[in-house]
């Protein structure tokens, strides 16, 4: 059985907006990411995306709905096809859960913010 210590996982890298793969199961991927500042508006037409804030504060801005604010220990799911933009005021350590192969920028092209997911080194 594989185990992951989230504290160690977050301590293993410094890059912002560059998710690290920590586990895969049933066609889904569990990633950790350090977020700070604003990301780009995007959607994932075929995939729900879960944001679970481990430490910090994260706002999920939604194009046609009220913003959602998440703090330590809270999670939220952005449904497939909903345009959103994560914004972290300060550093937020976040767990992401989504289908394997989901790009962090979804359907947004030419932003220069797409990050190839790297497996977290053991």
Domains plus CATH for the chain?
6-119 (2.60.120.10)
- Give which of 79, 32, 47 is closest to 60, Cα–Cα: 79
Helix (H) or strand (E) holding 76, with range, is strand 75-78
31-54 core/surface letters (b: 16 or more CB in 10 A; e: else):
bbbbbeeebbebbbeebebebbbb
Q: pLDDT by residue (tens digit) across 67-100? A: 999 999 999 999 999 999 999 999 999 999 999 9
> Residue 78: its pLDDT value, please?
97
Q: Report yes or no: 51 and 59 within 8 Å, Cβ to Cβ.
A: no
The CA distance from 69 to 117, in Å, is 25
- pLDDT of 2-33, one tens digit each? 899 999 999 999 999 999 999 999 999 999 99
What pLDDT sits at residue 122? 52
How big is the chain, counted in residues? Answer: 122
Q: What does the pLDDT look like over 42-62, one tens digit per residue?
A: 999 999 999 999 999 999 999
């Amino acid at each position: 059985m594989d185990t992951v210590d989230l504290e160690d996982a977050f301590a293993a890298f410094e890059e912002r907006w560059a998710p690290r793969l920590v586990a895969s199961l049933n066609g889904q991927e569990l990633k950790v990411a350090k977020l700070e500042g604003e990301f780009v508006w995007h959607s994932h037409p075929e995939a729900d995306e879960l944001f679970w804030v481990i430490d910090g504060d994260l706002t999920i801005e939604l194009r046609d709905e009220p913003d959602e604010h998440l703090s330590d220990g809270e999670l939220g799911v952005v449904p497939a096809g909903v345009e959103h933009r994560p914004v972290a005021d300060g550093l937020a350590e976040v767990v992401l859960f989504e289908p394997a192969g989901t790009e962090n920028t979804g359907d947004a092209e030419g932003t220069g913010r797409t990050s190839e997911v790297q497996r977290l080194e053991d």
